[in-house]
Every structure is written in C-alpha cells, then in structure tokens.
C-alpha cells in the first residue's frame, strides 16, 4: 500500500532539492526524474532484501549483448502494484502520468528479438522469484535513431542517456580493468532494478560502461596537443558507445570484438571476485553457485576468458579449470543464418586478445584429440574443429564448452539437431534441448492493453492470469458468446483509434480505424521478407486500379523496421516500401481502398501501441529461417490472427490456437529442403499472374532509387543471385501466389465480424504457452538447476 502523503511530499522535495523548482515550474523531464527518485526510495529496500536473500545461493547469470528493455516507468508501477495509486497522487499534484511516462527515453540497449527476449526473461525471472542477474553493456547511443529522408533510412545517434537515467546506480567500487592487446580500459558497472510482479523480488541488470584508466594525458594537454591528450579516453568510451557498430572495415570488427570481450571479462572478474569473498579459493564449487547462459554467440568468448582467469590468475590446472568451465556455461542458439554463427579472424584474436587466442587454440587441440580418440575421420574433424581456415568458429566453441545447448522453438531445435548441427548432436545428444521462447504478459498485455486486460480479469474473476497465463484457456467458453465478442471488438476498435491518432501525430499519415490493419514490425532482413509484403501490396494496388468498381475491404499496411547501417539490401527494401507507400497514398483513387505506413524509429514504446491494434500479424519469413519469433506471440496475446509461414513459433501458435483461426501459407520445411537444388525462380516470375509486373517495378522506372542501384541489386538478387547465394535465396517468388491467396482469405473472413472476433478470441485463449514465465521456469529447472 502506497503512503500517498509521503509520496507526494517526496516528489515535491525531489523537485526542489534537485532542480531548485516547484511542481508548476518544473519541466516534464524534471518531473519524471523527481517521480522516479521517489519510486526508488520505495524500491531500494526490497532490492537490498532480495540481494541478501540470494546471497551465497546458486544464481543464473544471463550474458547478452542486448537487453531491449523499453521504458521502465509504467512497467515498474504495474509490477509494484501501485500504478493507479501513483496516478491519483500525480493528479493531485496536477501532473499527467502519461506525460511523465513520455519523458522517459527508450533505453538504447537492444535492437531486435534477441534483446527483447532477454528483457522479457529478466522480468519473468524476478516475477518467478528466481535469482538471476543480467550482464551486458551500457551503450551510450544505442543502435541508432532512424529517420526517413526521401524514403531512405538515415541513421542518427540515439543519446538516450542525455538527460541522465534515474533508474540505475553507478557502482564504482565494483569497477574492474579489462586488458586488450593494445590498451587497458576500466569497466564501471551500473545496476538497474528488475522488479518482479507483485512479490517484492527485485533482481539486477548489471551493465558495464567503458572508461579510461586516466581521463587525459596532462602533459600532452599542457603541450597544447589537445586531441592527443584525450585519445585514450575516446578509445575507451567507444567500446560502450554504440550497439553493433558497422564492421564492414577492420576497425569496426576490432571494436565489435572489444565489446564482446569487454563485458564478459568484466562480468566474470566480478563473479570470481564475489565468489572468493565467500568461498575463498575452492573453485571446484564455482559451478555450484553460477549458471551462466550465453545468449547467442556474442558472449561465447566468456568460455576461454573463464579458463584464463582460473588458470592464469587463480592457479588452477587446465583439467580442473576445463571441468569447472563446462559445468558453468550453457548456450542458446538463436539462428541458423550463417552470418550470425560468428566466425572470427584468427589474426584479430592474436592482435587484440593474444592470451585468449592461445587458450582457444588449446581448447581446439584438446577437442581434436578427443575426436581422434573416438576414431573420427580427418574430413569430419576438419568440419568440426573450432579453428579452421584461419577463423574461430564461435558456435563450435560454445557447444564444446557448454553443458547444454538449446534452440528456441520446436522446428528450430529440430533443424539444429538434424541438419545445421547434426554432427554435434550425434556427438553430444544429451546436451541438446528445446526451450520455446515466450513474452512477459505484464508489458505485452496488462500494461499495453489495459482495456483487454480488464475484460479478461472480469471474465475470469481474478488477476491471477497475469502470472499464470495458462488460465486464459478458460476464456474458450466465451467463444460463442456474442456479447463478449462484441466487447472485445469494441476494445480492438479503441486500440486502432489510439494507434491512428499516434501515427498521425508522429508520421503525419492519416489511417482509417475501420480498415484492416496488417502489421509487420521486426528487424529488416531479407529472410523476414518485408519485400514479399510490398510485392503483394503493389499487386493489390494494380488490381484495384484495373477494377475500380470491385468491392474490397479497406486495408492499411503498416511496417516498422530498422536496417543495419551496413546492410545495403535491407536499406534498399526500406526505400522500395516507401516508394510503394508514396504511390499508393498519393493516388486519390486509393482513398477508400488502401493506405501504407512505414513508421519511423520503431522501438518498444511504438510496439506497445502497434501490437494491441493489429488485425493481422504478418509473420512471413522463409520457412526454416526464423528461429522462433516473439512478435508473433505479442500479436496473438492481443487477439491478432497470424498470416504466416510454417516457420518458427508460428507452427506452435497454430498447434495451440488452431489452423482455422490463422492463415498459414507456403511450403513446409521438408518441401523446401526437397526442392532446394532444383528451384528455378524465373519459372514463377514468368508464369504467376501479376508477379512479373510487380517485380519489374524494381527496374522499369516505376520507382526511383536515387541512382543508387539499390533496386537493380534487389532485382538481380531475385533472378540472378550473387556470388554468395543462389537466385531468390528466400523464395519470395515461389511463395507469392500462396501469400496472395492467404491475404484474400483473411480479407473475406474479416467481413464477418463475429466469426472474425471468434478467431481473435481463440488466439487469446490459447496464448498461455507463450508466456516467458513458462520458458524461464524450464530454463531454471532443466538447465540452470536453480
């Protein structure tokens, strides 16, 4: 229970003490900081109690290059159980709670699904009372802020820390030194509370910031060589400046390697130091107190780094150190894409991490010896050895150095076992597990869709579903209750109106809430096939132009995505979609037919508006390429049927909610694998009605790519291929007709409002499996043993 009088007095005091202002004269940013400082007075006690409760017990450590947290304010109030009370107090102070929340910047700590999953996992760990700490980097400028200029993506810095960050504490006493081949830097931790829902458990996210050992060289400065005097400061700060710096040149690759080593070395030094304070030098028990989860290959350098610390600094023999290491680490594989199964140039490791490279080489030699003892043929050994062709295969290092490897959806794990990691599965079948991803129902329903949450609570007569999502199954009995379905559709219309108002304010685009909202929001990557979506939109446009009297349901197609700065094709797809949008939106004939919106700078806060408003969830990745997806789960939980392929968690969504309540199209993985070697995309290009016309818009002058050659390159990628891939590597042309037919079926189904509402409702009622509470409980029991 919140002491409202005390809370109000604290807000007023914090504004006065920190800003020399009153409530009325304080800015929105200052009010936000004052309210958060007041909340932190409530939080720190439970945070300290949690730390004491977890002291000297086994805990899990989640190592991740990304944590896509989103705004903390509303979610923390919800989890503390004081949202409405704080809202009342702020109203009394004439402060709008929405304005306070808007003053908070989205934390620039992640980019896509991998980082958002990490954020959901941390919140679920706290809610499930599990002792888990997240470790990563405190990026000063995030990945980037996205703008569109003439339809092109333009990247800007995203200084989310410009006004300070009141949720975290700088812990200078825990700073450590990280040593590279050419410099040493200081790693300073900042701790952020991760608040569990309704249970007073508050875990920690520890993020490391790069700083110089000496701020500047006084002698150089005194000699008026000012730039040189701060060179080391700039180099150190660059490490934690930007998430995923462009690595098209060697300097970028070096910076990425430094980032990876920086945060895992700092984290491991921190863990070892704290372990020794309680347990002395008995490192044989280290794994009994620590389960370290490697979130993809980015932090895999932690394996040789722990070996370095145990052997070089703590004096353990190689065999003991290796035994401890392999009992400590587990590895999550998030993808089968070659570029994401990182392979690092040996020369970079030798230059930047010479001692770590020696240890990796020792691990590789040990592994080769092990395979020789098992009578493996030289050809097979060459395929599996960790160092090969002058490169370090980090996925192989992760598998050999971990006790457990998991995929993130049933189809993904099966592909790993029987194709991509087949040799490793045959060697270590006991290591492989599946852990289908999940999402936190707090942020992705209870917070972002309070209207639907209230309806669910009323129908179930309890709020217990917020921490036990399986209870949603009880909603199935209302699938034929027309009054309930009408109430749901009224809520959906409310969310659609809210989104329309927000898009108009942010983008200046007017969309109609009475239209079908098709939404595709995710990273921009060729395999996610935003281009297929654009081709369908253009095909529909031409159909409507040729048949102006045809009766079709008004459609709104919404995109949100960032392309990596160095990913030229992805940026070309963004430009192409914006060209399609310009054509459609400027055509008066389309006013009552269709609209296209590509929202700028898609992030968590934008997602909180988009997911509840969607009518159709676009999950159209090439089969076998999307490991799981979590956006598909957020749409499902908010009552949006999936239009998608037999890929990732789409398969499990359909298993739970029924194929009749979704729109699945395209090949299954077995069909794709059977036709991989014989696929001829030009046959589809020539024979599928309407397809050649839309593909040719890439090169026939319909659209302008600003003489960049981007559209020609996209065209060639589909019909000619490239040195590194075959034509139409992601089967857009093969799936186009099936996709168009699925879109037509969805449009027809939407016309029957009650039948459509029933499809939506059955998705909500069967979303229970996709709670990150369920996923993280499986990790805790079956991998971490905490």
| Dist. CA 102–CA 92, nearest whole Å | 19
The enclosing H or E element of 193 equals: strand 184-195
SS3 string, 226-262, reads: HHHHCHHHHHHHHCCCCCCCCCCCHHHHHHHHHHHHH
Coil, helix or strand at residue 108: coil
Closest CA to 394 of 355, 327, 349: 349
The enclosing H or E element of 471 equals: none
355 labelled catalytic: no
Give residues with Cβ within 8 angstroms of 471, minimum separation 6.
460, 462, 464, 465, 768
Catalytic residue among 201, 328, 630, 697: 630
361 labelled catalytic: no
Catalytic residue among 59, 258, 442, 634: 634
Tokens (6 digits) for 711: 């559209």
Catalytic residue among 522, 562, 575, 595: 522
Which segments within 485-564 are labelled E, that is strand? 516-521, 555-560
528 labelled catalytic: yes
Instruction: Identify the bridge partners of residue 204 per DSSP, sorted by sequence position.
Output: 133, 193
β-strands 290-295, 59-63 pairing: parallel
Catalytic residue among 343, 523, 595, 769: 523
Residue with structure tokens 């809370």?
7
Measured on CA atoms in the order 25, 30, 35, 41, is the torsion positive or negative?
negative
Angle separating helix axes 83-92 and 73-80, nearest 10 degrees: 120
β-strands 169-170, 176-179 pairing: unpaired
308 labelled catalytic: no
**Contact (CB, 8 A) for 334 and 629:** no
Residue with structure tokens 């994401």?
340
Tokens (6 digits) for 423: 């040799």
Q: What is the DSSP letter of 56?
A: T
**Contact (CB, 8 A) for 748 and 451:** no
630 labelled catalytic: yes
Coil, helix or strand at residue 103: coil
774 labelled catalytic: no
Instruction: Identify the bridge partners of residue 137 per DSSP, sorted by sequence position.
Output: 208
Catalytic residue among 528, 595, 625, 759: 528
Catalytic residue positions?
Answer: 334, 522-523, 528, 630, 634
């Amino acid at each position: 229970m919140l002491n409202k009088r005390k809370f109000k007095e604290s807000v007023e005091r914090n504004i006065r003490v920190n800003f020399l202002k009153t409530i009325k004269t304080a800015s929105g940013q200052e009010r936000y900081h004052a309210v958060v400082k007041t909340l932190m007075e409530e939080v720190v006690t439970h945070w300290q109690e949690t730390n004491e409760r977890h002291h000297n017990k086994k805990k899990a450590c989640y190592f991740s290059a990304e944590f896509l947290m989103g705004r903390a304010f509303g979610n923390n109030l919800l989890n503390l159980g004081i949202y409405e009370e704080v809202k009342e107090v702020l109203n009394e102070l004439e402060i709008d709670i929405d304005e306070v929340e808007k003053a908070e910047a989205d934390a620039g700590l992640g980019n896509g699904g991998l980082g958002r999953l990490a954020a959901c996992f941390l919140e679920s760990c706290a809610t499930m009372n599990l002792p888990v700490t997240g470790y990563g980097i405190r990026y000063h400028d995030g990945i980037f802020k996205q703008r569109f200029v003439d339809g092109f993506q333009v990247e800007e810095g995203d200084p989310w820390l410009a006004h300070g960050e009141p949720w975290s504490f700088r812990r200078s006493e825990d700073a450590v030194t990280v040593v590279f081949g050419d410099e040493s830097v200081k790693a300073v931790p900042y701790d952020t509370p991760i608040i569990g829902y309704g249970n007073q458990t508050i875990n920690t996210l520890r993020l490391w910031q790069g700083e110089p050992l000496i701020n500047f060289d006084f002698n150089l400065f005194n000699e008026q060589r000012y730039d040189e005097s701060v060179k080391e400061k700039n180099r150190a700060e660059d490490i934690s400046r930007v998430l995923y710096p462009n690595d098209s040149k060697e300097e970028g690759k070096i910076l990425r390697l430094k980032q990876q080593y920086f945060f895992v070395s700092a984290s491991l030094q921190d863990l070892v130091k704290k372990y020794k304070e309680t347990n002395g030098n008995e490192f044989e028990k280290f794994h009994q107190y620590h389960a370290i989860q490697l979130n993809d290959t980015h932090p895999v350098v932690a394996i040789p780094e722990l070996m370095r610390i145990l052997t070089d600094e703590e004096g353990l023999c190689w065999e003991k150190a290796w035994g401890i290491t392999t009992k400590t680490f587990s590895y999550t594989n998030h993808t089968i894409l070659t570029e994401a199964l990182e392979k690092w140039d040996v020369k970079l490791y030798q230059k930047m991490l010479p001692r770590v490279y020696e240890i990796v080489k020792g691990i590789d030699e040990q592994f080769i010896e092990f395979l020789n003892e098992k009578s493996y043929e030289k050809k097979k050994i060459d395929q599996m050895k960790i160092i090969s062709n002058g490169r370090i295969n980090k996925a192989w290092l992760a598998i050999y150095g971990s006790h457990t490897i998991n995929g993130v959806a049933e189809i993904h794990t099966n592909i790993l076992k029987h194709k991509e990691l087949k040799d490793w599965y045959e060697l270590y079948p006991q290591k492989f597990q599946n852990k289908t991803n999940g999402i936190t129902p707090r942020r992705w329903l209870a917070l972002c869709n309070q209207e639907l949450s209230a309806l669910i609570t009323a129908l179930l007569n309890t709020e217990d579903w917020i921490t036990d999502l399986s209870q949603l199954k009880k909603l199935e009995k209302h699938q034929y209750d027309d009054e309930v379905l009408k109430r749901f559709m009224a809520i959906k219309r409310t969310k659609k109106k809210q989104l329309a108002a927000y898009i108009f304010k942010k983008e200046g685009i007017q969309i109609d809430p009475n239209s079908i909202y098709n939404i595709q929001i995710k990273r921009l990557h060729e395999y996610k096939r935003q281009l297929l979506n654009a081709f369908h939109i253009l095909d529909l446009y031409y159909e409507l132009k040729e048949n102006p009297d045809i009766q079709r349901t008004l459609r709104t197609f919404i995109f949100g995505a960032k392309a990596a700065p160095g990913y030229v094709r992805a940026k070309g797809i963004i430009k192409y979609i914006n060209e399609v949008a310009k054509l459609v939106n400027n055509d008066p004939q389309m006013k009552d037919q269709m609209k296209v919106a590509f929202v700028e700078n898609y992030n968590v806060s934008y997602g909180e508006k988009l997911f509840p408003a969607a009518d159709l969830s676009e999950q159209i990745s090439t089969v076998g390429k999307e490991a799981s997806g979590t956006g598909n789960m957020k749409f499902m939980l908010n009552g949006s049927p999936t239009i998608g392929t037999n890929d990732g968690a789409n398969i499990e969504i359909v298993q739970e909610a029924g194929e009749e309540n979704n729109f699945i199209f395209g090949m299954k993985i077995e069909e794709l694998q059977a036709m991989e070697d014989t696929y001829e995309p030009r046959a589809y290009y020539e024979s599928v009605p309407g397809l050649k016309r839309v593909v040719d818009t890439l090169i026939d002058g319909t659209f302008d790519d600003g003489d960049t050659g981007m559209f020609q390159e996209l065209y060639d990628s589909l019909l000619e291929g490239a040195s590194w891939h075959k034509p139409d590597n992601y089967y857009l042309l093969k799936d186009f007709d099936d996709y168009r037919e699925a879109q037509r079926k969805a449009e027809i189904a939407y016309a029957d409002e009650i039948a459509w509402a029933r499809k939506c409702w059955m998705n909500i009622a069967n979303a229970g499996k996709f709670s990150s509470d369920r996923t993280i409980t499986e990790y805790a029991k079956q991998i971490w043993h905490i």
